[in-house]
Amino acid sequence: MKTSDRILGIFGSFIRQALVIGATLLSLFPVYFMIVSAFKTRFEYIEDKWGLPQSLYWANFNTALAGEKFFIRFANSSILTVGSVFVSLIIACLAAYAFARMEFYGKRTLFNIILSLMVVPPVVMIVPLFVAMVRWKLVNTYHGTILIYTGLLLPFSIYLMTNFFRTIPREIIEAARIDGCSSLRVFWNIMMPLSAPALITLIVVNALWVWNELLIALVFMQKDELKTLMVGIAALRSRNYVDIPATMAGLLIATIPIVIVYMFGQRYFIRGLTGGAVK
């Protein structure tokens, strides 16, 4: 190797490391800022905004949990997340099984239509959906909002599961069929257990999406006792400028479930979110 190349190499790897570290610090700073602020007193926060807290001031969490009906909001978000992830999973798997392992008229067209719905922004449907949901008396109900979320989750879920079901060898299904299994039994006793990794991916990605969603929750869960955590947080913007540490404590509690799920299921996240795009 030429000397000039080696100097370039050392210099290059230094720049690379420095840039990546810089980017990492930048992407962590807001999270760091949220955590340290959550443990400061209001006075401490005004004095020193980005330093470590002198001691852990837990009272912020009491303030956060007492105000803004935190527990109800947390429960509402959980109900909607669990409900819509579960319902969409069952419906999507049934449809994906048909797409992956059955022959029928219009299969390709139907699949392409469902694919294209994957990126249709919910905001364009929100007005007519609201009009319809008012008529069906589903506004301000858990099941109504779960229905909307289920619908919005279906295209991606069907796509992911169809791709996964296609990788399950036909021979296994044929063998079960010869043994006299009905389609439904094959689906329930063979396809579903074999799909555990894909199912976990789907649950993790969808749960994250519903938990974080704002617009639908804002429009369809308007009653105060039905508001979700994200709607509650969005409302803090103007009101709580005074007590920033308490707000930060609330944000921290709202973020913790996501971080925990991320730590345990990182590879599922990455697989799910890059699935299909990368081949």
Partner 1 sequence: MSLGVSRRYKLLRQIEPYLFLAPALIVIGMIFAFPIVRLVTLSFQRPFQGEMLFVGLTNYQTIFKDEVFLRAVRNNLTLLISVPIMVLIALILAIFLFDRIRGWQFYRTTLFLPYLLPITVVGLIFSYIFQLSGVLNDFLKVIGLERFILDWLGSTKLALPTLMFVIVWKEVGFGIVLFLARLMSVEEELYDAAKIDGANWWRLQWHITLPQLATTIEFFTIVSIITILSWVFGYVYVMTGGGPGNSTMVTELFIYLTGFRYNQMNIASAVSVILLLVTGIFIFLELRLRERSVTLEELS
Q: Which of residues 56-85 bind partner 1 (CB under 8 A)?
A: none
Give the separation between CA 17 and CA 33, rounded to whole angstroms: 24
Identity at 53, one-letter amino acid code: P
The verdict on 191 binding partner 1 (CB under 8 A) reads no
Q: How far is the CB of 247 from partner 1 (least distance, A)?
A: 7
* Cα Rg, the chain, nearest whole Å: 24
Give the separation between CA 209 and CA 94, rounded to whole angstroms: 21
Residue 79 · residue 120 · CB < 8 Å: no
Restricting to residues 253-272, which ones interact with partner 1 according to CB under 8 A? Answer: 254-255, 258-259, 262, 266, 269-270
Region from 60-68, 104-112, 168-176, 194-202 binding partner 1, contact rule CB under 8 A: 104-112
* Residues near partner 1 (CB under 8 A), total: 93
Q: Compute the residue count for the chain.
A: 279
Backbone angles phi, psi at 39, to 5 degrees: -105, 10
Q: Which residue of 128, 169, 180, 193 would you call a contact of partner 1, by CB under 8 A?
A: 128
The verdict on 120 binding partner 1 (CB under 8 A) reads yes
Q: How far is the CB of 95 from partner 1 (least distance, A)?
A: 4
Restricting to residues 31-60, which ones interact with partner 1 according to CB under 8 A? Answer: 31, 33-34, 37, 49-50
Give the separation between CA 220 and CA 64, rounded to whole angstroms: 25
Restricting to residues 139-168, which ones interact with partner 1 according to CB under 8 A? Answer: 147-148, 150-152, 154-155, 158, 163, 166
The verdict on 188 binding partner 1 (CB under 8 A) reads no
Q: How far is the CB of 79 from partner 1 (least distance, A)?
A: 17
- In the complex with partner 1, the residue whose CB is nearer, 194 or 261, is 261
Site string for partner 1, 9-28 (x = CB under 8 A): ---xx--xx-xxx-xx-xxx
Restricting to residues 202-241, which ones interact with partner 1 according to CB under 8 A? Answer: 208, 211-212, 214-215, 218-219, 230, 233-234, 236-237, 241
Residue 40 · residue 245 · CB < 8 Å: yes
Among candidates 211, 191, 213, 215, which has minimal Cα distance to 203?
A: 211
Q: What is the DSSP string of 229-251?
A: HHHHHHHHHHH-SS-HHHHHHHH
Give the separation between CA 44 and CA 53, rounded to whole angstroms: 8
Region from 57-65, 66-74, 119-127, 194-202 binding partner 1, contact rule CB under 8 A: 119-127
Give the separation between CA 92 and CA 106, rounded to whole angstroms: 18
Give the separation between CA 222 and CA 136, rounded to whole angstroms: 16
Q: How far is the CB of 29 from partner 1 (least distance, A)?
A: 8
